[in-house]
Structure 1
């Protein structure tokens, strides 16, 4: 996460975090205090504003997979290695929980299957197979992160799980998620426990960031905004196609079902339905 005296940015994987962090460094100052880690209790003792970032769920899965096609990322590193692995258990953030997860782990016997799904960033069929595996409980232990052991995995996809763990749980805790068994309970938990004041959508990153800062009392000069808008994004993958290239009806519905919370909360539309909404605009930035 990125922390200053007045602001904390909690980093949700593959939602423009590296770019946002770079911009915040220039705009408000601060320091990196871990990466993709939960907020600790000390952050809530002051009057900090909390920022979080999100992304179109259909695009998020493509981005995570495409990053792996470039041989990058924690998920890629874990699932493509056979046997046991020490990586990706969160040793830096919570060594005790990491040890528990390692002791409960089983050897990865699916490394070859995973490797084949990463064969070509332009292969939509490979992506669809990868996505089906990501939502198949037989493969959940391969990428760890506590997902397969959480009851939430029966209800929601990895993207929603990461969202809930980072934005509704504090100080290394995630046990509150295990009591969630229905979509209605998921919505209620998010409504009661999400502590993010302003969300930044990857699709509207700079504009949402400027607005969030202005609503939080930070002024951004017009020239600074223009300079930022001219910058290239960072930490991107090599893919050249949008989500509609990769999805068929079945995989589109899979994400619609498994990440329904984020789709409905942030007003995202499935790739196959976007042509039916030519006048669609992203909703106004949401506040928790």
Structure 2
């Protein structure tokens, strides 16, 4: 989470945040970090009327990015270890478990016991109490995470899409009448992506059944932002 005098940026996991964070910290002199992957409900009281900037991506793409990023780590996080059964499962098996997390009491209980009790400054930064409401929600993990991060915002929400991040970020800054220097514009338009995972097209990771399961569990995000598999 980064605050400026005109808006607050809330960083949804694996959704363009490293690029946006660097942009704000390099080109906005009044930008200040308020925490790591914190939800909008934790925006300080004196800033809660400001617009809240966020970004979302295709859930099908998110799961591939998350899986490939965690799979290459020497010590993946507790969530990945739990749903991949300590790396024994491949992508389809891991993502099915992740999508079913809210319906699997035993798996969820085992995971919650491993998560921290308070917020920290690294990783997904999702304490046990924050993930617990996924139980019985019927939501896919990404839709749950999206609602958790942005659902309690008091300020007006401005959610761009990762797939059009550069254009959407410039459009947002224009709407709030933020001065855009030549250097800032050049960074947004030309800087290389940051913190990307190495993988092929997300479409290649899915069979029809798994793609349909994502469509069902993450339909809230998919419908709200006009996503289609393969588009």
Listed as ranges, the matches of 1:38-49 within 5 Å are 38-39=39-40, 40=42, 42-43=44-45, 45=47, 47-49=49-51
- Are the aligned partners of 1:141 and 1:148 in contact in 2 as well (CA < 8 Å)? no
Paired residue for 2:109? 141
Listed as ranges, the matches of 1:147-158 within 5 Å are 149-150=132-133, 153-158=136-141
Higher relative contact order (CA 8 A, sep 6+): 2
| Pair 1:247 & 2:206 matched | yes
- Are the aligned partners of 1:52 and 1:198 in contact in 2 as well (CA < 8 Å)? yes
In the TM superposition, residue 7 of structure 1 has moved relative to its aligned partner by 1.4
Change in Cα spacing, 1:4 to 1:226, as seen in structure 2 (3 Å) is: closer
Paired residue for 1:36? 37
Larger Rg: 1
The DSSP-based 3-state class of the residue aligned with 2:53 is: strand
The partner residue of 2:85 within 113, 125, 150 is 113
How many Å separate the matches in 2 of 1:266 and 1:112? 29
- Are the aligned partners of 2:53 and 2:159 in contact in 1 as well (CA < 8 Å)? yes
How many Å separate the matches in 2 of 1:63 and 1:51? 22
How many Å separate the matches in 2 of 1:252 and 1:112? 18
**TM-score (normalizing by structure 2):** 0.80
Change in Cα spacing, 1:21 to 1:267, as seen in structure 2 (3 Å) is: same
Change in Cα spacing, 1:22 to 1:80, as seen in structure 2 (3 Å) is: closer
In the TM superposition, residue 231 of structure 1 has moved relative to its aligned partner by 1.5
The DSSP-based 3-state class of the residue aligned with 1:71 is: coil
| Pair 1:236 & 2:196 matched | yes
- Are the aligned partners of 1:14 and 1:64 in contact in 2 as well (CA < 8 Å)? yes
In the TM superposition, residue 165 of structure 1 has moved relative to its aligned partner by 1.1
- Are the aligned partners of 2:83 and 2:97 in contact in 1 as well (CA < 8 Å)? no
Paired residue for 2:159? 199
In the TM superposition, residue 250 of structure 1 has moved relative to its aligned partner by 0.4
- Are the aligned partners of 1:78 and 1:142 in contact in 2 as well (CA < 8 Å)? no
| RMSD of equivalent CA atoms | 2.6
How many Å separate the matches in 1 of 2:49 and 2:203? 42
Paired residue for 2:175? 215
How many Å separate the matches in 2 of 1:221 and 1:132? 45
Between 206-215 and 196-205, report the one with greater CA deviation.
Answer: 196-205
How many Å separate the matches in 1 of 2:143 and 2:214? 10
Gaps of 5+ in 2: 113-127
In the TM superposition, residue 78 of structure 1 has moved relative to its aligned partner by 0.7
